[in-house]
Amino acid sequence: MTNDLEHLLNLAKRKLSVIILTALRDGPLRYSKLHHAVSQTSPGTVHARTLTDTLNFLCAKDLVEHHQDDDAADYRLTAGGEELVDLLGEIKRWSREHRASGGLG
């Protein structure tokens, strides 16, 4: 069980992972729109290489898929990615609740 938790925490610590997953929550985005959404949320400059590397990582973990047809290409959450985004939302809610009650620093 510890390895599972460590795996989740390492995934969440990877630069831009949570921001990308959250940006894709409402539906597929083309690379340029995703870059813009991530740039708006990220505290620092988002370099294209970092975004691409993180997208490749999330695709390899089967959390995001790169969908391409004749007209366009986009990135979208897989079923596992959607589940993880829901879980991250619950963790955020829990954190807010416990921070407000003085339970977290």
CATH number, position 61: 1.10.10.10
Which of these, 4, 7, 6, 12, lies nearest to 54 by C-alpha position?
Answer: 12
Given this model, what pLDDT does residue 71 score? Answer: 86
**pTM for this prediction:** 0.84
Residue 58 and residue 17 in contact, taking contact as beta carbons nearer than 8 Å:
yes
Within-domain flag for 105: no
Which of these, 37, 25, 28, lies nearest to 74 by C-alpha position?
Answer: 28
Q: How far apart are CA 59 and CA 41, in angstroms?
A: 21
Within-domain flag for 62: yes
Q: How far apart are CA 3 and CA 53, in angstroms?
A: 24
Q: Which residue range(s) make up the domain with 44?
A: 2-100
Within-domain flag for 72: yes
Number of domains in the chain: 1
Given this model, what pLDDT does residue 42 score? Answer: 87
> Which residues in the chain land under pLDDT 50?
none
Within-domain flag for 42: yes
Given this model, what pLDDT does residue 14 score? Answer: 80
